[in-house]
Amino acid sequence: MSDDLGFLGAAELVKRYAAGTLSPPEVLEACLAQIERHDDRLNAMAHVAADSARVAARESAQRWAQGRPLGPLDGVPVAVKDLIPVAGMPLRYGSAASDDTPVDEDAPSVTNLRRAGAVITGKTNTAEHGWKGVCDNPLTGITRNPWNPDLTPGGSSGGSGVAVATGMAALALGGDEGGSIRIPSSFCGIAGLKPTWGRVPLHQPAVCGTWSHVGPMARCVADLALGLNALAHPDPRDWESLPETGTDYTANLTQGVRGLRIALSPGIGHVALDGEVEAAVRAAAEVLRDLGATVVEATPAIGNPIEPYYVLVRMAARAIVDSVPASRRQLLEGVLRKDAADAGRHSGMDVKYAEMEQRRLGAVMASFFGNHDILLTATTAVPPFAVGIDDPGNGKRTDLQWTGTLFPFNLTRLPAASVPCGRTASGLPIGLHLVAARYDDATVLRTAAAYEAAAPGIGRPPLA
DSSP letter for each residue of 286-335: HHHHHTT-EEEE---TT--THHHHHHHHHHHHHHHHHHS-GGGGGGS-HH
| Segments of the chain with pLDDT less than 50 | 1, 397-398
Rounded CA-CA distance 36/222 in Å is 27
The reported pLDDT for the residue numbered 395 is 59
| CA distances, 438 to each of 170, 194, 250, 338, 405 (Å) | 27, 12, 19, 33, 17
**In the chain, what is the straight-line distance between the N-terminal and C-terminal CA atoms, in Å?**
16
Instruction: Look at the alpha carbons of 197, 314, 45, 189 in this order and tell me if their dihedral is positive or negative.
Output: positive
Q: Residue ranges per domain, the chain?
A: 2-454
CB 220 within 8 A of CB 191: yes
- Provide CB contacts within 8 A for 251, sequence distance 6+: none
Rounded CA-CA distance 385/154 in Å is 9
Q: How many CA atoms lie within 13 A of 93 on its CB side?
A: 19
Strands 119-124 and 45-48: antiparallel
Report the catalytic residues: 81, 156, 180
Tens-digit pLDDT profile for residues 319-375: 999 999 999 999 999 999 999 999 999 999 999 999 999 999 999 999 999 999 999
Q: ω into residue 384 within 30 of 0, thus cis?
A: no
The reported pLDDT for the residue numbered 398 is 45
Instruction: Look at the alpha carbons of 11, 15, 17, 18 in this order and tell me if their dihedral is positive or negative.
Output: positive
The reported pLDDT for the residue numbered 292 is 98
Rounded CA-CA distance 431/216 in Å is 16
CB 329 within 8 A of CB 97: yes
Architecture of domain 2-454: Alpha-Beta Complex (3.90)
pTM: 0.98
Rounded CA-CA distance 270/253 in Å is 32
Rounded CA-CA distance 376/348 in Å is 35
Region of residue 330 (phi > 0: left; psi between -120 and 50: alpha; otherwise: beta): alpha
CB 115 within 8 A of CB 108: no
